[in-house]
Amino acid sequence: MSELYKIVVDTKGADKGPAVIIGGVKTALDMHKSLSVLLSGDTEVIRAECERLGVDTSRVEIVEAPEEVTNYDSPAAALFEKPNSSLVIGMTALRDREDLCGFVGAGNTGALIAGSMRFLAGRVRVRPALAAVLPAEAGGFTCLVDTGATVDCDAGTLHHFARLGTDFMREMYGIESPRVGLLSNGAEETKGNKTVKEAHAKIKADGSLNFIGNVEGNKALSGACDVLVCDGFAGNQVLKVTEGTARRMLTDIVKYAKRTGSEEAMKLFGYLMQTYDIASLGGGIILGAVKPVVKAHGACDEKAIVSTLSMVLNMAQSKRIYDENHAE
Amino acid sequence: MSELYKIVVDTKGADKGPAVIIGGVKTALDMHKSLSVLLSGDTEVIRAECERLGVDTSRVEIVEAPEEVTNYDSPAAALFEKPNSSLVIGMTALRDREDLCGFVGAGNTGALIAGSMRFLAGRVRVRPALAAVLPAEAGGFTCLVDTGATVDCDAGTLHHFARLGTDFMREMYGIESPRVGLLSNGAEETKGNKTVKEAHAKIKADGSLNFIGNVEGNKALSGACDVLVCDGFAGNQVLKVTEGTARRMLTDIVKYAKRTGSEEAMKLFGYLMQTYDIASLGGGIILGAVKPVVKAHGACDEKAIVSTLSMVLNMAQSKRIYDENHAE
């Protein structure tokens, strides 16, 4: 039998409740025979839902967690005030157990980030970053870092994000020397706000990074770089404006298809959805944690849970291969 | 005969040279019988090009300007070092002559902004803003301010942009009480970087503005607001990421059409181009100047010149109507 990778799934905190999460888990378990899960939440609810959906429970472990971190909770406070929440219990298990290799959550993003920093921080303390890995126009993927975890960044933080993104793309995507771009309002070195100009100098001076210079918004996902560095405010715009523009165009295509009755237009829609359905493309990845932690995007339907679990599984497998190849 | 609106056109500074500009002028003159132009540049070059293209010279005036402001010039310095440039001579004419009602340029954006502030500033000195007016998903238009003129903004500057955008949408688009949104990384009042949070409070407290709160990137052009306020760095991302995403999807549609031989897909492409060909949608509008000044977008082909001239003509007409209705 092939090796199993066990991933913690927080069944609470999603807008649409645990049924959607467990539905996604079932599909992911059916898809990936090397996946198993630790479901954190209300044991009775989880059991009932697994039975109803016919989940293969031989690859499911349940851990009881009666409390829930909601979107109304203050992220940092929630970790202390709700020690029996599915988030805290799941993260604690991930920290303490070697057989657990990652975490998927759909709840309060801030609490997920704060939890990662509290329970899963590496030896060096760092500002957290929430990365998004998006399909690039030229093929492959671009890691956008940060997309919203740290909205007020100084130049040192941006430099640090360049390193986090580089490590991530090397370990998870096997790119030996990831090309780093810095998001700016012009390609020239002199373009940018004060912080970006300072960061440009710092990143350029760092010999461990493969810096290609400034990248403009219209080239953000062109494939010009493997890692695109920006503060959480600007990165959030890149992610959401991409999502909003794509969704708007897809909506226009569907309207056109309905109005004209064009079957070809609907086929084209299906084709474009494979690339541009950003919300289902996986999730936000917390960089700087010792094990992969991923936040399911947006409204979080079953599809998002499936793709997030596939993503963490993939990351866990890649990380193992990388670590084995680089063992001292 | 209907009234003529005379617009200054800088024939220099475009990457592709004066022929493209004058080609666009010809098409615009053919389209708009109420348009006339003052062309600033090399008289001989302009005359020859007008003759070659068969331009209706009864609505063309030429003013000799031997120097050129290039993209290599420092914006502020260029105004002093090149007094005989087409930009300075054109702007000076616009300032001094009542019959001139606007300006179109395709050259150095910074110099155009600096020139507007030097020659066409209102009584109150303000930080300049470069706005973009883009078609909103719900219909109508959204004025994005700023898109790159001022990349380092404090909260007061953002508040000021809200006022500039409001005045513009009221005067040019006849919206009595334009809805103002503030770009942020979340809809809640608590979201944003430090400056955005401060600006939120300032804009909210200003009773002269119709503030609807924070707007996220995926709703930037939804039509939720008439004026979207942001610093020039973030606004540049919104503009360029929208442009880049749209261009990428349009390219994918063309590739699909070619691969499958689908005529329907090509028709759909043509349909979407009307909305999403951002580069041809007009230009960047300098707010805070006493007369409309517009920078043609991007690579600046003839189409961009035509749509920029149409835009300034429209603005001049709207402004006249507004001023007549609001005369004391």
How many residue pairs from chains A and B have C-beta atoms closer than 8 A?
145
Best residue of B245, B251, B267 to probe chain A, by most A CBs closer than 10 Å? B245
Contacts of A194 in chain B (CB under 8 A): 152
Mean pLDDT over A177-185 rounds to: 97
CA distances from A315 to A49, A181, B155 (A): 28, 23, 41
The enclosing H or E element of A35 equals: strand A35-41
Distance CA A186, CA A196 (A): 11
The strand order across the sheet containing A227-229 reads A60-64, A35-41, A5-10, A100-105, A293-296, A283-287, A129-135, A141-145, A227-229, A179-184, A210-216
Contacts of B137 in chain A (CB under 8 A): 248, 251
Are the beta carbons of A243 and B137 separated by less than 8 Å?
no
Are the beta carbons of A262 and B241 separated by less than 8 Å?
no
- Please report the pLDDT score of residue A71 as a whole number: 85
Task: Select from A151, A185, A236 the Cβ nearest to the Cβ of B233.
Answer: A185
Distance CA B204, CA A279 (A): 32
Contacts of B246 in chain A (CB under 8 A): 245, 249
- In chain A, CATH 3.40.718.10 sits at 1-122+289-328, 127-282
Sign of the CA dihedral with B151 first, then B154, B160, and B161 last: positive
Contacts of B184 in chain A (CB under 8 A): 233
- Please report the pLDDT score of residue B278 as a whole number: 75
Question: Across the strands, what pairs with A121?
Answer: A289
In this prediction, residue A2 has a pLDDT band, given cuts at 50, 70 and 90, of low
Task: Select from B137, B243, B268 the Cβ nearest to the Cβ of A218.
Answer: B243
Are the beta carbons of B185 and A233 separated by less than 8 Å?
yes
Token pair, residue A85, equals 């929440």
Contacts of A284 in chain B (CB under 8 A): none
Q: Give the mean pLDDT per block of 10 residues along chain B (328 residues).
A: 87 88 96 97 97 95 96 91 97 96 93 93 80 93 94 96 94 93 94 97 98 97 97 96 95 94 92 84 85 81 89 87 75
In this prediction, residue A1 has a pLDDT band, given cuts at 50, 70 and 90, of very low
Are the beta carbons of B219 and A265 separated by less than 8 Å?
no
Residues A264-284 as b or e (16 or more Cβ within 10 Å = b): bbbbbbebbeeebbbbbbbbb
CATH number of A1-122+289-328: 3.40.718.10
- Please report the pLDDT score of residue B298 as a whole number: 55
Q: Is the ipTM of this complex over 0.95?
A: no
Mean pLDDT over A52-56 rounds to: 94
Distance CA A147, CA A238 (A): 8
The minimum CA-CA distance between A225 and chain B, rounded to whole Å, is 15
- Please report the pLDDT score of residue B1 as a whole number: 46
Task: Select from A148, A152, A196 the Cβ nearest to the Cβ of B194.
Answer: A152
Are the beta carbons of B185 and A237 separated by less than 8 Å?
yes
A259: closest chain B residue by CA: B268
A137: closest chain B residue by CA: B248
Are the beta carbons of B237 and A236 separated by less than 8 Å?
no
Mean pLDDT, chain A, integer:
92
- Taking 60 as the threshold, does the pLDDT of residue A298 lie above it? no
Task: Select from A240, A256, A275 the Cβ nearest to the Cβ of B271.
Answer: A256
pTM of the model: 0.91
Instruction: Give the count of beta carbons closer than 10 Å to the beta carbon of residue B214.
Output: 21
Token pair, residue A290, equals 């010792």
Contacts of B252 in chain A (CB under 8 A): 272, 275
Task: Select from A148, A217, A251 the Cβ nearest to the Cβ of B240.
Answer: A217
Contacts of A137 in chain B (CB under 8 A): 248, 251
Contacts of A216 in chain B (CB under 8 A): 236, 240
Architecture of domain B128-280: 3-Layer(aba) Sandwich (3.40)
- In chain B, CATH 3.40.718.10 sits at 1-122+289-328, 128-280
Reference B67, options B24, B6, B11; nearest CA is B11
Reference B61, options B7, B102, B115; nearest CA is B7
B233: closest chain A residue by CA: A185
Contacts of A264 in chain B (CB under 8 A): 260, 262, 264-265, 268
| Lowest-confidence pick of A124-133, A201-210, A319-328 | A319-328
In this prediction, residue A283 has a pLDDT band, given cuts at 50, 70 and 90, of confident
Distance CA B34, CA B144 (A): 28
The minimum CA-CA distance between B111 and chain A, rounded to whole Å, is 15
- Assign a CATH topology to domain A127-282: Isopropylmalate Dehydrogenase (3.40.718)
Torsion angle, alpha carbons of B95, B101, B106, B109, to 10: 50
| Lowest-confidence pick of A178-187, A240-249, A285-294, B31-40 | A285-294
Contacts of A272 in chain B (CB under 8 A): 249, 252-253
**DSSP calls for A223-275:** TS-SEEE--HHHHHHHHHHHHHHHHHHHHHHHHHHHHHT-HHHHHHHHHHHHH
Distance CA B157, CA B165 (A): 12
Are the beta carbons of A243 and B218 separated by less than 8 Å?
yes
Task: Select from A184, A193, A218 the Cβ nearest to the Cβ of B244.
Answer: A218
Contacts of B218 in chain A (CB under 8 A): 240-241, 243-244, 247
Are the beta carbons of B221 and A232 separated by less than 8 Å?
no
In this prediction, residue A328 has a pLDDT band, given cuts at 50, 70 and 90, of low
Are the beta carbons of A217 and B236 separated by less than 8 Å?
yes
Torsion angle, alpha carbons of A197, A200, A201, A204, to 10: -170
Instruction: Give the count of beta carbons closer than 10 Å to the beta carbon of residue A34.
Output: 13
Reference A124, options A290, A265, A278; nearest CA is A290
User: Phi first, then psi: what are they for B172, rounded to 5°?
Assistant: -95, -30
- Please report the pLDDT score of residue B59 as a whole number: 96
Are the beta carbons of B152 and A256 separated by less than 8 Å?
no
β-bridge pairing A100-105 and B100-105: unpaired
- Please report the pLDDT score of residue B304 as a whole number: 87
Specify the higher pLDDT residue, A278 or A309: A309
